[in-house]
């Protein structure tokens, strides 16, 4: 578990942010069938390239994007400057297959950086190491070493442009390394360049195998609530059933699911990076905007339970999630019925108050034998989306040793201690 006080100060912003937006955008949005349509449908390269060169997102308004992101409670952003179709959103000297050189006639990435920086968000860039247009990517370095050397130099030059021409960047997410190693991609050159040009930037290695573990690990959908990730991490989550990029008719997750994923990542000490695929014209999908409004409203009232908090080790709360900051624990409740009790066992620190964060109402509670019990949630708030209780302790919250274990852990001694403490042993001979 990463404690905020132990992090390098230059990266503290990341552990305190908790919520980021990952913008997957490019000419693939013209088709409205996801970001990987070129490969998944084995499209004709020439037809795809011709359409990409005609792409003109005339309603692209990065200032609106940034304002919507800020209102939704996002603290950082990532834009895919080049996806695996090879099209570049920035002004590059390496190719004319770019938004600046073709019909868009605009530095889409540069305008994004300025707008999101002006809005006060941390700014990141995603870059695909893969380029599906090029046979050398598929054949690999062993097949044609000279061609691979040229391809690798091309990638390094593009990364140098991105890291040089747009001011301070906070996060670099490298994607799609394929079956190739860090050595084959020239990660020594990439990392030396990154540390030289953007010394404060966090770098994700995209999962490429090699000596460099990356400054931040990336988790994909699933159970990400473990507090034992060993460093900075973020969970990438689509708000739709399938696609990161724009897909017409895709089914959207309800706001409750997004909040649950956000709380789950936070209680594990990580961030949630929520993806979005803008439309080809540059507008954001209405279902996404509606969900952003709901999430932003929740965060304005109860965001203290997530922003700047730390992970809590041990078995998760049966009714929701737990985070901590200073002397406070935050209980983020998925549900609460009239007859239910909230029980948190293994808390050794004296509890002084239990407060409803939404309205600062104090609740009655019992605390004895290292167990906190809250008997009843106020009637008016039982239907509130993910209500939060702030448990104010006499000191920094501490847990008994047995409560630090989970069912999935290998620490059987801790779980045996819990079994011995809570309830009599069963004797099969009786």
Going residue by residue through the chain, which has 430 residues, state the pLDDT in tens, using 9 for 90 and above: 333 344 477 888 998 999 999 999 999 999 888 888 888 888 899 999 999 999 999 999 999 999 999 999 999 999 999 999 999 999 999 999 999 999 999 999 999 999 999 999 999 999 999 999 999 999 999 999 999 999 999 999 999 999 999 999 999 999 999 899 999 999 999 999 999 999 999 999 888 888 888 888 887 655 455 555 667 889 898 887 666 666 666 778 899 999 999 999 998 889 999 999 999 999 999 999 999 999 999 999 999 999 999 888 765 577 788 999 999 999 998 877 666 678 888 888 999 999 999 989 999 999 998 889 987 777 766 557 889 999 999 999 888 765 555 544 555 565 565 556 655 444 343 3
Burial group, residue 187, by CB count within 10 angstroms (0-12, 13-18, 19+): buried
Q: Are residues 209 and 67 in the same domain?
A: yes
**Three-state SS at 267:** helix
Q: How many domains does the chain have?
A: 2
Q: Which helix (H) or strand (E) holds 287?
A: helix 286-302
CA angle at 100 for the pair 96 and 103, rounded to the nearest 5°: 90
Q: Give the pairing type, strands 361-362 and 371-374.
A: unpaired
Q: Are residues 224 and 348 in the same domain?
A: no
**Three-state SS at 172:** strand
Q: Are residues 106 and 39 in the same domain?
A: yes
Tens-digit pLDDT profile for residues 46-97: 999 999 999 999 999 999 999 999 999 999 999 999 999 999 999 999 999 9
State the CATH number of the domain containing residue 328: 2.60.40.1180
64 backbone dihedrals φ, ψ, rounded to 5°: -65, -45
Q: How far apart are CA 355 and CA 124, in angstroms?
A: 37
Whether 429 is covered by a domain: the verdict is no
Helices 108-118 and 62-72, packing angle to 10 deg: 40
Q: Determine what percent of the chain falls in helix, strand and coil, rounding each to the nearest 5.
A: 35, 20, 45
Whether 130 is covered by a domain: the verdict is yes
The domain of 364 spans 320-418
Q: Are residues 301 and 324 in the same domain?
A: no
Q: How far is CA 25 from the centre of its chain?
A: 17
Closest alpha carbon to 14 in 262, 304, 308? 308
CB atoms within 10 A of CB 145: 11
Per-residue model confidence (pLDDT) at position 244: 64
Q: Are residues 387 and 263 in the same domain?
A: no
């Amino acid at each position: 578990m990463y404690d905020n006080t132990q992090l390098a100060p230059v990266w503290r912003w990341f552990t305190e942010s908790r919520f980021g937006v990952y913008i997957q955008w490019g000419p693939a949005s013209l088709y409205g069938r996801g970001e990987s349509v070129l490969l998944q449908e084995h499209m004709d390269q020439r037809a795809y390239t011709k359409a990409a060169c005609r792409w003109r997102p005339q309603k692209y308004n990065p200032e609106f994007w940034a304002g919507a992101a800020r209102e939704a409670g996002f603290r950082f952003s990532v834009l895919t400057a080049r996806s695996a179709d090879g099209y570049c959103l920035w002004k590059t000297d390496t190719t004319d297959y770019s938004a600046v050189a073709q019909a868009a006639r605009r530095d889409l990435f540069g305008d994004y950086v300025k707008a999101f920086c002006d809005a006060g968000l941390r700014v990141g860039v995603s870059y695909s190491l893969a380029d599906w247009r090029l046979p050398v990517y598929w054949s690999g370095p062993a097949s044609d070493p000279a061609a691979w050397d040229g391809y690798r130099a091309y990638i390094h030059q593009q990364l140098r442009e991105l890291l040089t021409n747009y001011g301070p960047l906070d996060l670099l997410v490298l994607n799609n390394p394929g079956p190739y190693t860090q050595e084959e991609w020239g990660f020594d050159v990439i990392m030396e360049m990154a540390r030289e040009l953007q010394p404060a930037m966090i770098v994700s290695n995209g999962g490429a195998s090699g000596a460099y573990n990356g400054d931040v690990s990336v988790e994909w959908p699933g159970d990400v609530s473990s507090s034992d990730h060993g460093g900075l991490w973020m969970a990438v989550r689509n708000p739709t059933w399938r696609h990161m990029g724009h897909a017409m008719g895709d089914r959207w997750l309800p706001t409750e699911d997004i909040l649950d994923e956000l709380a789950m990542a936070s209680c594990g000490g990580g961030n949630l990076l929520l993806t979005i695929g803008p439309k080809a014209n540059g507008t954001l999908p209405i279902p996404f905007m509606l969900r952003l409004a709901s999430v932003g409203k929740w965060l304005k009232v109860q965001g203290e339970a997530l922003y700047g908090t730390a992970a809590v080790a041990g078995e998760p709360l049966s009714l929701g999630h737990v985070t901590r900051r200073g002397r406070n624990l935050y209980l983020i409740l998925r549900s609460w019925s009239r007859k239910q009790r909230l029980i948190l066992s293994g808390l050794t620190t004296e509890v002084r108050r239990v407060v409803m964060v939404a309205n600062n109402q104090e609740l009655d509670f019992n605390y004895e034998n290292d167990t906190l019990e809250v008997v009843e949630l106020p009637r008016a708030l039982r239907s509130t989306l993910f209500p939060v209780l702030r448990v104010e302790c006499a000191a920094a919250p501490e847990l008994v040793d047995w409560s630090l274990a989970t069912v999935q852990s290998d620490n059987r001694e801790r779980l045996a201690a819990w079994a011995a403490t809570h309830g009599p042993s069963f004797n099969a001979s009786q």
